[in-house]
Structure 1
């Protein structure tokens, strides 16, 4: 794809010296649109393809961006077509762990079954990485701390402390100024509301137990609401 992978755009600062072209940091609206593109791709694979396909390896390096910055899901090397079973799962006990460390759901590591909820977990981690710009394999995550718990603890008064500073700088000259101006929401207030919703979505999708994770259709609805807030309009 002309614009490479989402991983490059999120972590461009790590690779700046080896970049062939200058990349502009992604703004929040761009990240919301990319998240929505990926959610639609997952929904198609899970619910609209005739047979349920589980990707099994959703992560930023497998999200590819075309010339218009529209996101596409790539690399189906680990994907699985589910059997027609009541639970819509695939027995993975004989094939070992599927996916990438940090993005694969915990149940896969203990011989659990491949399922749509496994993709939802990976998608949740992807969302959290898009907001925080922290990889789930960051050295800070140790002794029981992971990206999900890190985000969960910050959802109260510490939201802005864990967000990617680039998001806070973009589109607003003073993002820390979270006040109302003559009764109207400022850009920074809308941005904080959207960041909170994105963080909540990521946490809800990456719950440890599969039955507590959101379904992708609900995720799409929430992302459209977030996009509406960013555009300050009632329609997408």
Structure 2
């Protein structure tokens, strides 16, 4: 796709290692796109499908920075593995969950935290029982701005300088980041039963976007009808 993968935007392309400038609204939209794709796979396909390899390199971005979920080589129908998941451990190091829809939710939580902090789950800092999940959980709620990608702090400073309602916009950004970290943590808890469902993640992510834009909060019926119409468009044939 025209804008490559999310991996390149977050961590560079492996050559010059220069990441690109990914705005907060772009990260928010990408997170919603991916959540919508997973919700479609889990809840709106004729037979529920598990992706099993959700990570930044499998998130592709088109000309308009709309995210597509690609690489279905490890995907399985839920009917093949059962609701408890018994196919075995598949996926990429740092993102490996059990083979179930809740495994995809776990990977989404890790992906969301990575997009906010710019730290991958295999970062050198995560050792001695410290993980990306625990790193983010320990920051909630007061220290969240201390763990976010520094580029977001630059963007916040620019908003403060040029926006007439900069205080409200900055506060909304803080509140949205805290809410996104909470979702990331809830999705990546150890117990699958305690993780959120993707349908609920989509609704909450739309609410966060509405809060940031100051357009009010959409709930259930209005958001759900839009998701049913658009969910499949966030899948890639790659």
What are the within-5 Å matches in structure 2 for residues 1-236 of structure 1? 1-12=1-12, 15=14, 17=16, 24-83=20-79, 88-92=83-87, 96-105=88-97, 108=98, 114-173=99-158, 185-234=167-216
Paired with 1:116 and 1:225, the residues of 2 have a C-alpha distance of 23
Cα pair 1:83 1:90 within 8 Å, conserved: no
How large is the RMSD of aligned CA atoms in angstroms? 2.4
| TM-score (normalised: structure 2) | 0.84
Cα pair 2:211 2:217 within 8 Å, conserved: no
| TM-score (normalised: structure 1) | 0.84
Higher RCO structure (Cα 8 Å, ≥6 apart): 2
Give deviations 1:8-62, integer Å, cap 9, x for gaps.
Answer: 11113x747277xxx7411111111000000110011111110011000000000
Structure number with larger C-alpha Rg: 1
Q: CA deviation at 1:186?
A: 2.2
Q: CA 1:2 to 1:91, structure 2 compared with 1: closer, same or farther past 3 Å?
A: same
Q: How many residues align?
A: 216
Q: CA deviation at 1:170?
A: 1.1
* Structure 2 segments unaligned to the other structure (5+ residues): 219-238
| Larger helix share, 1 or 2 | 2
- Could you say what secondary structure the match of 2:157 adopts? coil
Paired with 1:84 and 1:101, the residues of 2 have a C-alpha distance of 23
